[in-house]
Every structure is written in structure tokens, then in C-alpha cells.
Structure 1
Amino acid sequence: MQKMWGRSAVGSALQWHCRGRGFESLRLHQMRGPGPRVFIYIIFFVFLVLLVSTTPAVEFLSTTEHNVASKLVELLDSTEEYVLIVSYSLDHQEVIDKLNDLFLSGVHVVAMIDASSSGRTVLCRPLFEVRADSSDGLMHAKLVIIDGRICVFGTGNITQSGLHRDSNTFLVFENCDHVSVLEDYALAILEGRSLEMQKLPNGILIMTPSEKGRQLFLNTILKAKEEICFLSYAFTDTELLALLKYKSAMGVSVRGIVDHWNNDFSAIARYLNTGIVVTFPPDNMRIHDKTIIIDGKTVITGSANHSFNAWQKNREVVAIIESADLAEKYLAHFAYLWEVADYGLESWSCPD
């Protein structure tokens, strides 16, 4: 019999982890003798638990150094109850085969894609439920939720190109508040709803369309003091370009790698390399990233291209994360791509 699914049905699977709720009913009794010392120990223990709960367990993946498809299949292998997938397109056969296996074993699987890419998904013969979004704007977010405890979030679609051929990055969050917020976003997209941006201890998650989110995005860049590095598939945002040129004029180092797509389709391509330093990848490489790293400590990444439509029309998910450790990983990815572009390497591939 098919499992019922939903917040009420999955029960404990949707009870949020890492929020320290188990301490809400903690009661301290009067003690004699060492009472104050015990009280201090308890407070210290609660502080440590809350500190751990606000520090997300996150793994960085990039197609230039990891086999992302194999990692995703490995994560899916751990599924017990349900999988939610939100991806502009879904045509990676190995992933779809794994999802079919899960569905046949009783796991609830549901996916949302953009209607414009539905033909490619149908050819892969999914057995699970696939919904196609045909509303105004693109359904462009990229999320995989596993049992409410794991979320894979990034710049690439669940496709052969997104997980292998293109340059993309992904974050794997596990058992933290980020997962619960990103699951709320996935459910909202599946149900055709919108949600406000959510503040977390080390950053903010944004679901578009969102004018407030866009202003926060621009203001975060405006605060840059030393360095801005950006990776961009589609760069058509004139306001963002003007802001980057302004920061460069104020003495901030601004460097970017943009895809060749812009030479054919971006009206501002001719202005990208004036006032800031921009390079392109080799002809056989596609930069599908949508990431900005600021001052070695702030990362802005997600599904949104650097365009007006991403913020005003599309369904996207963007993260602004304050983390020097994470920024270091993104900068290493940027440095690799910069070297590839600088030396004009003729070939590259993701690891096997």
C-alpha cells in the first residue's frame, strides 16, 4: 500500500533537529552544597549544545574535484521515508534509476521541474511523481531533501551536464536548521507558494522572487572592503555590474570568470571587462556557477544567475553564508578555474 506522505504523516522525520528543544522542559531543583557548581555545569553543557546546533554540518562539493553524481546516489541510499527534488531539469539516468528503486521499495519520491525541460525527464522513464511548473518565470531552484535531515543545495541541475560536464558547486547540509528552512522552500515550490527569506546564525536563505532579498544581496556586495571574486553563467544585471565597477574604483580587487554564453546572449558582455578583471573559460568548458566570494569570509551562492529575472520572476534559492572556512573552499575552486582559463587548458573533466 502506498505510504501517506506529508508533514503529519512522516511525523518524527519532520521534527527539526539541532534546535535544542529537548532543553525547553529542563527544570533545576534546589540543591544544597555543590548546587551552584552543578548549575554552572548544566548551563555550560546547554551552551555547548546550542553552539553545535547553530553551526551547520556542511560538506562542499564541486564538479571539478568530486564525482557529485556518485555522492548524491550514496546519500539517496540512506533514504528511509521520502525524497523531495526541485530542479530546473532532471535527466541524470543514474540518479533517476536510484529514485525509481527507492519508489518501488516504498519511499515517497516527488520531483518538481520546469515545464520547458519535461521532455528530457520523460525520456529517462521516471516511475515516481514528477510535477512540471509552467507558470510565469522559470522554476530554477536546485534542491534535494532526504528525510528532512539532509539537503543537497547548489548551482547545478540534476542532469548529466549539471553533475559532470559543467563547472558547478554544491553544499550538503545535514541535521541543522538550514535543512529545515530549505525543506520549507522545497515544499513551497512544490505547492506553488512563496516564503520570506530566513535568517540563520551564520547567514540568510532567500527564496525568490524577492525584492528584499535582492537589496540584501546588493548591500552585502557593497560592504566589500578588499576582494570580490565571482563566477557567473549568465551575467545580464546592469545594477550588479555598476556596483562591481564602483567597488573596483574604490580600491577593491574585483575578478570574475564568466561563461561564453554571455558573448552571444548578454547585452552587457562588451562592458564586463572594463573597470574590473574578467576572463572566460576554454571553449569546451561551461561555467555554470552562480557564486560571489567577498573578503574571504562571505559566500553568496545558489541557483540564481546574475540577472534581473532571477530576483524578480523566477523561483530560485540563494544562500548568503558568513564562513571563512567555506569561503576558502570556494576560493580554491575559483583559483582552479582561473588557472584553467589563464593557461587555456584544452581539456578537463570531473573525477571518476
Structure 2
Amino acid sequence: MDNFMRLLSKFRQIVFIVCLLFLSGCVNTAVLQDIPSQIGEIIVTVEAVTTPTPAANPDPIILADDTAVPWYAIYFTEPNCVPPEARSGGLDEMLAAEILAAQESIDVAAFDLDAEPIVNALIEMEKRGIPVRVVTDSTNAAQSSIRRLRRNGISVPEDKRRALMHNKFMVIDGRIVWTGSMNYTSNGVYCNNNNLVRFDSPALALNYITEMDEMYIDRSFGPDSPENTPSTRLTIEGVTVENYFAPETEISPLIGRLVARAEEEILFMAFSFTDNVIGEALLGRADAGVSVRGVFENSGSDTIYSFYPYMEATELANLDVRRDGNPRIMHHKVFIIDRETVLLGSFNFSESANYKNDENIVIVHDPEFAAQFVEEFERIWQEAQPDS
């Protein structure tokens, strides 16, 4: 199965490159003759792609407007943390529906995975013969949900190290990417504030498949991962999208540069914020007159490592930070720059995320996309309590 998945991944990359050559008018028959014979007799049928209809909007989810721009859909949890037996209609069921609609392949990189609808859907697709690949962090590899996957024939490699395989992404059929802050757990869906974004882009999917190959096939985690993302900067429907993976790419300096370019406003939501590079960049822009507002997850925010006490104690009039009001977890990892650019993903703003953990981020440069995250920020901001 590993050899098949490696060949399938290689085949997708070749098809993607050939398509680009066709579009640019640079292809000829010699290019086609160069396709490696090792791929074997793979027959490709091109059909109209039908996007699965998302589940109806239930109470535990806030859906942003996903009707105007078909290449992305944005979802936010609305935590109510009802008892486990009463939990239904959430994003776990939406992801399960996406899995069950898969025709070719399913890749899941999950730091934590215990949501029953997702686990059941993965097992069902393995029974149907659809290739299913799952990787997880060793911290959570012994839990019953992972054991169930393995008992049902799904190989689940783990990173086997102290640092974290902290990704939360899914790739369906080599074109649909789900990523964001949400762990694939019942609490992640029903108790914690999270974001989840669905992208429809074969080029973006190829980036994530390449990362998955490193972990699933090559067992390369953390600093051992090669810096080989096919397209770190893409254009999707006229919108510039950036995509990076840590620790092969240092994300903290990248965020620092993004923050340093802010001209009017910076908004952020942070589960963890201890990174000096990012913190100093924020303080520098606030000192330069840029409006900065941020919400910190309450737990851990009063430690000497967190930037919350330092920011809260500053006398900069245009810097305002609060601790979140969710009695459970505010789990977002988001920056919004000038209401035009959004950074999202699994990356906590910490040195461990930058240098040790397996992480991913997406940066979308689009005011319409950003507007939906601004709305979520304002909702979290209103629920948060300023220190007196």
C-alpha cells in the first residue's frame, strides 16, 4: 500500500505539472513520453466534480458565507459543551460526510482524533477499498479511537518523539483540503472555539499530500522533514494564497514580517502566545501607531512565558488585549492584518511550534475572506473580559 500511495502521489505531481504546461502552451509529445514508466498502467477518467453538500447548519457551528466563492468555505464552532451523549450536528458530522463522499483517497493528519463520526467514516471507507492514510501524535496514539482504526486495517504511523505532530488537516481525492485550528475531537467540535476552512484546490492539496508522504511513507517528522513544498505561493480564483509547513520553514519570522507590514490594524486570537519574534513585532507596530487588539486563551495567559501580562501592562493607547470568556478553550491561532490578510492553521505562536512541531499555516490575501474572520474575532472579543 505504501508503494501504491507513493506512486499515486508521484503521478498526481506529474499530472499537475503537465496541466500547467498545457495551460501555458509549452507542452509537446516529448513531455508526455517522459512520464516515468514505473507508474504503470494507471487509467485516469476525468469527470465533472460534484462538491458534497455540507450538512445543515446546526447549533454548534457558525457558518460564514460560503455561497459566493466556491473554492473555500469557512466554519467556526459555537461551543455549548453539552454532555457527550447529546452532541450531534457538529463539524465532526460534516467532516464525516466529506470522508464518505470520497472517490479516490483520504489523508488525515490529526494531533488528536476521537470524534466518533470521523472514526466511523474512516473505517467505512477502508472497508469500501478507498485508500485511507492517517498519522497522529504519539501522545494520543494509545487512545481507543486510534486502536479501533488499527484493528480495522488502517495503518496509523505516529511521530514517536517528545515534540508534537500538531497538524489538523485532511485531504480528500487530491483536491479538497480541510485545515484550521480544530482537533478532530468531540471537545474540539462542541466545547472549544475553533476555525475550520475547506479549500477546493488541487495545487494546494498537492502541498498537503507532499507533507503527508513525508510523515506517512518516509516517517520524517519535525526537523527531519525536508523543505519541499511544491507551491508555497499560489493564485486561486485571482486570490493570493500562501502555504507553509513547520519546522522545515521557520514560521515565526514569517509572521513577524507579516505583522511588520500592517498599516492600520492587527487583530489576533491566540491559544498560546509565547514567541518573542512575533510579540516584539506586535509591540513595534503598536508603538508605531497601528491599532492592535488581541484575545488570549485564559489558561496559561498569566504565566511569565505568555505575552499577555506584558501587553496588558503596556501604556500604549492603541494596544488592547483581553482573556477569552469561554470556560473551556479558545483554541484559535489567527492573525488578521488590515482586514485584508488572514493567517490560520495549527501553528501556536511559540518557539516549539516554530522549531520542533509539525505544523501548517495558510495565509489568504483577500478582504472578503478576512471579513468572515473579523466577524468571528469581534464575537470572541465581546465574550472576552478586559482586566480591570
Report the CA distance between 1:213 and its aligned residue: 3.7
**SS of 1:273 mapped into structure 2:** helix
Change (3 A) 1:145 1:17: farther
The separation in 2 between residues aligned to 1:60 and 1:4, in whole angstroms, is: 35
SS at match of 2:179: strand
Q: 1:64 aligns with which of 67, 78, 86?
A: 78
Whole-angstrom CA distance in 1 between matches of 2:160 and 2:241: 31
Deviates more, 1:199-208 or 1:310-319: 199-208
1:303 corresponds to: 346
Q: State the percentage of identical aligned residues.
A: 22
In structure 1, what is the Cα distance between the partners aligned to 2:2 and 2:348?
37
Unaligned runs of 5+ in 2: 28-68, 80-88
Counterparts of residues 1-352 of structure 1 (less than 5 Å): 5-9=4-8, 15-16=15-16, 20-24=20-24, 57-64=71-78, 67-122=90-145, 125-126=148-149, 127=152, 128-190=154-216, 191=218, 192=220, 193-196=225-228, 198-201=232-235, 202-210=240-248, 212-263=250-301, 267-268=305-306, 269-275=308-314, 276-342=319-385
Supply the distance in 1 between the matched residues of 2:121 and 2:277 (Cα, whole angstroms). Answer: 42
Q: Structure 1 residues 283 and 297, CA, compared in 2 at 3 Å: closer, same or farther?
A: closer
Equivalent residue letter for 2:352: N
Q: 1:236 touches 1:266 (CA, 8 Å); kept in 2?
A: no
Q: 2:255 touches 2:278 (CA, 8 Å); kept in 1? A: no
Q: Which moved more, 1:61-70 or 1:256-265?
A: 61-70
C-alpha distance in 2 between matches for 1:67 and 1:17: 37
Q: Which runs of 5+ in 1 are unaligned?
A: 28-54, 345-352
The verdict on how the C-alpha distance between 1:20 and 1:82 changes in structure 2, with shifts beyond 3 A counting, is same
Q: Which moved more, 1:196-205 or 1:283-292?
A: 196-205
Q: Offset of 1:277 from its aligned partner?
A: 1.1
Deviation at 1:247? 0.9
Deviation, structure 1 residue 81: 2.3
Go from structure 1 to structure 2 and tell me whether the alpha carbon gap of 1:214 and 1:239 turns closer, same or farther (over 3 Å shift): closer
Of 221-230 and 7-16, more deviation after overlay is shown by 7-16
Contact conserved, 2:326 with 2:383, CA < 8 A, in 1? Answer: no
- Distance apart, 1:188 and its partner CA: 2.1
Which structure exhibits the higher relative contact order, with contacts defined as CA atoms closer than 8 Å and separated by 6 or more residues? 1
AA in 2 matched with 1:118 = A
* Partner Cα distance (2:276, 2:9) in 1: 45
Residue deviations 1:129-170, cap 9 Å, x none?
111111352111111011101110111111112222111111
Superposed CA RMSD: 2.8
Secondary structure of 1:256's aligned partner: strand
Instruction: Report if the CA contact (8 A) 1:88-1:141 is conserved.
Output: yes
Give the letter aligned to residue 310 of structure 2: Y
TM-score, structure 1 as length reference: 0.81
Would the aligned equivalents of 1:69 and 1:164 in 2 still touch at CA under 8 Å? no
Residue aligned with 1:251, SS: coil
Q: After the TM superposition, which of the residue ranges 104-113 and 199-208 deviates more from structure 2?
A: 199-208
Q: Is the 8 A contact 2:111 2:183 kept in 1?
A: yes
Q: Per-residue deviation at 1:7?
A: 4.2
Aligned residues: 316
TM-score normalised to structure 2 length: 0.74
Comparing 330-339 with 278-287, greater Cα deviation is found at 278-287
In 2, Cα distance between the equivalents of 1:142 and 1:248? 32
Contact 2:250/2:355 (<8 A) preserved: no
Equivalent pair of 1:57/1:176 in contact (CA under 8 Å): no
